[in-house]
Structure 1
């Protein structure tokens, strides 16, 4: 009875240590790019409340894309629902997205103003250890 319990503890520690290395980047990806209830008129409030800005500054980010899906659907791109796209992974299916584009150039938090646009596109993301960690771009896909 002690051996299986010890194995369970060892397995749990291994899984947790793997998650610990990816969790901050995955959490940041979720915070910056995942919002199932996002709409085109909520760019200012959502970006402001989440504190999304250019890296290591208080400058407004020029463009930010929100994926209107669950984390499980997006994570699946890194597994069976995606295909290689350079050093990224491209979704096999299109996703509804909201692209927020900065209206007031040289703006600073918390005074960023955005114009939102709804699209349905395949998306390219960077995956590490099975987790999405970077949104690269949306892809226009024409069916033949």
Structure 2
């Protein structure tokens, strides 16, 4: 009985880990671009086929973090702090926020307006990996 339970727990841990890895890869595709500029939203979102989940509808907003995964991944550890159910970066990041200009458009006709910002970011982490970009955070320092 103990062996069966151990095997079941190992199988569950493997499935959860694989699921988090798949979400991490999607996070990278949708939100990491170290060379992104505000005027590249249409091209990058189009080439990466970023749409609303399970549809061909254009996303209202998509944010790109201008950094490498080596800088973003540590937010889920020592470079982040709890922020409700999320994790907030300790340091600000350069980001590009792409906002849909043509409402109700469908891929591949999405047109975006990009805006560069520097903000702390809030993400969801699973198994030590970033899996969801939630929002940027304006912080006021004294």
TM-score by length of 1: 0.87
Render the CA deviation track for 1:28-75: whole Å, top value 9, x for unaligned.
000000000000110000000101011111000000000001101100
Structure 1: tracts of 5 or more residues without a match: 1-13
For 2:104 and 2:19, the matched residues in 1 are separated by 34
For 1:86 and 1:107, the matched residues in 2 are separated by 34
For 1:19 and 1:32, the matched residues in 2 are separated by 20
The root-mean-square deviation of aligned C-alpha atoms, in Å, is: 1.6
Counterpart in the other structure of 1:56: 54
Aligned length: 131
Q: Secondary structure at the match of 1:143?
A: coil
Render the CA deviation track for 1:60-91: whole Å, top value 9, x for unaligned.
00000000011011000001000000000000
Structure 2: tracts of 5 or more residues without a match: 1-10
Counterpart in the other structure of 1:66: 64
- Shift of residue 21 of structure 1? 3.2
- Shift of residue 93 of structure 1? 0.3
